């Protein structure tokens, strides 16, 4: 059950630090918040506003609350295969094929646009939207090459099994460098305007763009494009993942069993967890910013990842109005990256990843599961917000540095 952490903050997190609560209360005091802020079970301290915060606003949007990885989110594909169908197959070879098909790590883009037949249609559609809506992408001349690339940090690609031993493909990423450039551009505009108008803010990252201004109109136009890019970026990577997985599976099946990508996929879920959208809450139309939260309206399906080496969940929303029809986006960090590196080693990570195929090394120590909250507790705290449909456990993990 949620608790009232401050007059306009409803807290669903059973484990949350004082800095995060202070940050949420600070955001909730902005005069245009309606009716309250919902702090998700995975909430933790962030830049400007806490990660895991759902912020409904009337008449204004806070660009830094949306964040710099606009449209970051998850995509999951259920296949027709079961664990016994891939038992004994070389997961290391699959991992290298994935790493060859999908550029990893910040700054790594595609060297060309013609390797996969489905890529061009996505680029053309995004190009058309940018032209029709007047989205200026001159700051990101390489945005086309970024489509279908993973990035780094907590972004990942995984092969999973659910509670029935059904095989799932799973990944986490967002709008890459182009989304970051769009976000930084409008955050600076909001900060400049608030200084110009002598608006006193608790911190500069709560600078906002008022409704009715050309600056908000421009931000929402660019935001819509960046959210679309993030959605298509995940779909592009997933299509590549499905293709290389089907090829790998076919290579391992005697007798040339049909493993075409079209015949493998049974279900697909693609959802944002860093974005702003128009919704109605407590009788008013608001701009709802989900910073580290997913849509959990009644019946809406979503994906909540754990951390590297822990379970993830396919969920269905309950439409809880107190929770602003939202749910957590993952485990949420317990330790900062620098603190995790101070506490843990590559050997600690290897012990936690026993039985999971991954690329060994100390680059991912800050992503060790111990650096995150207990995903089982997060899901227990989210019981009023979502129902769990499937529980996924990974057997292969790919990360960028």
* Residues catalogued as catalytic: 329
Smallest Cα–Cα separation from 154: which of 366, 370, 391, 376? 366
User: How far are the Cα atoms of 23, 163, 357 from residue 303, in angstroms, in the given order?
Assistant: 26, 15, 22
Detail the residues annotated as belonging to a binding site for Mn(2+). Answer: 69, 155, 172, 273
CB 85 within 8 A of CB 321: no
CB 344 within 8 A of CB 370: yes
> What DSSP state is assigned to residue 372?
B
Tally: H helices and E strands in the chain: 12, 17
Detail the residues annotated as belonging to a binding site for GMP. Answer: 154-158, 273-274, 305-308, 312, 329-332, 399
Non-local (6+) Cβ contacts of 235 within 8 A are 75, 122, 270
User: How far are the Cα atoms of 51, 182, 345 from residue 373, in angstroms, in the given order?
Assistant: 13, 30, 18
Smallest Cα–Cα separation from 268: which of 296, 297, 242, 245? 242
CB 178 within 8 A of CB 262: no
Pairing of strands 9-11, 37-44: parallel
Task: Give φ, ψ of 360 to 5 degrees.
Answer: -70, 155
User: What is the C-alpha separation between 277 and 297, in angstroms, rounded?
Assistant: 13
Structure token digits, residue 191: 């900060």
CB 144 within 8 A of CB 236: no
Smallest Cα–Cα separation from 270: which of 306, 297, 289, 294? 294
CB 237 within 8 A of CB 155: no
């Amino acid at each position: 059950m949620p608790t009232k952490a401050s007059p306009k903050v409803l807290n669903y997190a059973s484990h949350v630090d004082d800095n995060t609560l202070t940050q949420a209360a600070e955001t909730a005091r902005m005069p245009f918040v309606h009716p309250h802020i919902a702090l998700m079970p995975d909430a933790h301290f962030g830049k400007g506003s806490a990660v895991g915060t759902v912020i409904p606003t009337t008449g204004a949007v806070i660009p830094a609350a949306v964040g710099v990885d606009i449209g970051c989110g998850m995509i999951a594909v259920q296949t027709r295969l079961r664990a016994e169908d891939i038992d004994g197959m070389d997961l290391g070879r699959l991992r290298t094929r994935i790493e060859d098909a999908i550029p990893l790590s910040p700054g790594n883009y595609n060297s060309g646009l013609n390797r996969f037949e489905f890529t061009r249609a996505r680029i053309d559609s995004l190009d058309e939207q940018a032209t029709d809506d007047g989205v200026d992408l001159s700051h990101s001349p390489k945005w086309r090459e970024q489509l279908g690339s993973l990035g780094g940090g907590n972004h990942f690609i995984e092969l999973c099994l659910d509670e029935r031993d059904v095989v799932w493909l799973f990944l986490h990423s967002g709008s890459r460098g182009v989304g970051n450039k769009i976000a930084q551009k409008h955050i600076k505009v909001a900060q400049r305007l608030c200084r110009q108008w002598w608006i006193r803010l608790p911190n500069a990252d709560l600078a906002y763009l008022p409704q009715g201004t050309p600056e908000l109109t421009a931000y929402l136009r660019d935001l819509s494009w960046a959210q679309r890019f993030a959605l298509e970026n995940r779909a592009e990577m997933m299509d590549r993942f499905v293709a290389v997985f089907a090829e790998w599976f076919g290579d391992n099946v005697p007798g040339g069993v049909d493993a075409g990508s079209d015949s493998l996929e049974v279900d697909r879920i693609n959802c944002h967890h860093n974005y702003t959208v128009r919704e109605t809450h407590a009788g008013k139309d608001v701009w709802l910013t989900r910073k580290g939260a997913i849509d959990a309206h009644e019946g809406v399906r979503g994906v909540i990842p754990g951390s590297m080496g822990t379970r993830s969940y396919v969920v269905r929303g309950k439409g809880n109005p107190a929770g602003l029809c939202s749910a957590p986006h993952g485990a949420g960090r317990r330790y900062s990256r620098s603190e995790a590196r101070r506490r843990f080693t590559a050997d600690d990570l290897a012990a936690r990843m026993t039985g999971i195929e991954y690329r060994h090394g100390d680059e991912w120590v800050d992503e060790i599961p111990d650096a995150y909250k207990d995903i089982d507790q997060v899901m227990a705290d989210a019981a009023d917000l979502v129902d769990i449909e499937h529980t996924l456990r990974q057997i292969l993990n790919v990360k960028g540095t």
